[in-house]
Structures are given as C-alpha cells and as structure tokens.
Amino acid sequence: MKYRNIFNTLILALLLLSNQMVFAGTEPEEKAANPFDPIENLKKLGTDEFTPDAWAKAGQEERGRMIWSFFQQYDLSELTLDRIRELLGPSTVYSRSREPNSPINSGLIPAYAIGPEEVMAEGGRVAEEGWLGYTLIFIVNPWRPEWKTQIDIYPSMLP
C-alpha cells in the first residue's frame, strides 16, 4: 500500500512536469470566434481602423470595413443613444413606415447603411426591393438605462 501511494505520487508529479514542459513558453490558444456573434460576423466586411473623422468622411462600403474596429474600441453594452450619435453621426437609414413617429424615423433607433451595396439575403434573392447593403440597427432604450444596447443587422450575416 505504501509503495502504491509513492508510485501514484511519482506518476502524478511526472504528468504535472510534462504538462509544464509542453506549455512552457507557449501562449494560450486564441479563443475560436463564435459564428453566431453579430459583431464577429462584421469582421467579414473588413478590419479598417475606425475613427469618428474617418467614419464621417467614408461612404457606405468604407463604413462597413470600419465597423468591426468600432466594436473593438467601444463596448456595445455601454453605448448610449447620445454616444452612438456622437461617434457615428445621424442615422443613414430610415424606415419605410408611413408613421412619422416610428422609432427609426424619429431617430430613437440609430440605423446605418454599411458594406457593399450588392448584398443578397437568404437564398440569393435581393433582400428587399431597393435595399442596398446591410443595415446596422442599434437597439437602445433611453428610458431604461439598465437595458444594455444591442445590435441587429439586416439582412442577417449569421450562418
């Protein structure tokens, strides 16, 4: 029994030492991207550096290439309506709703056209007649600050 405990301890020590030798000097593996994370999917459009000045001067396609960088610099859950407008300017997409007080038309929901204009929705059909590019929609509740800001992208970029 005594020798068995010593033997087990030696085996355990060897295993621990071998793991330390294998992992010594190596960096931890990068976490795999989640294919269902909308922000990670924006990386498909590009990784150009975002700055408010560059965004203000950019067209739709260039903005698409910057938006992933934007989310690397700013925490989505902490973005307020005012901060979004400060960084990205006024919305560039408005609802086709006939209601002048719809959340998008009234500016309560910031929405921006991003990426190439030739975007197709599921099945290769045009997303909607006259629809050009992706629309990035910030879902913000200015009356409930405890609700974290989220985004939606239309048409979906998810697999």
SS3 call for 65 = helix
* Token pair for 16: 């621990």
Distance CA 20, CA 13 (A): 11
Amino acid at 130: G
Does the pTM surpass 0.75? The reply is no
pLDDT per residue rounded down to tens, the chain (159 residues): 555 555 455 454 545 444 444 444 455 455 666 778 888 989 999 999 999 999 999 999 999 999 999 999 999 988 988 899 999 999 888 655 555 555 555 556 888 999 988 775 544 444 455 557 888 989 887 777 677 888 988 888 877
- The helix (run of H) or strand (run of E) holding residue 45 is none
Helical spans, DSSP H, in the chain: 2-23, 38-42, 52-57, 60-73, 81-88
Closest CA to 93 of 105, 85, 103, 81: 105
CB–CB of 147/158 below 8 Å?
no
| C-alpha Rg value of the chain to the nearest Å | 24
Report DSSP state, residue 72.
H
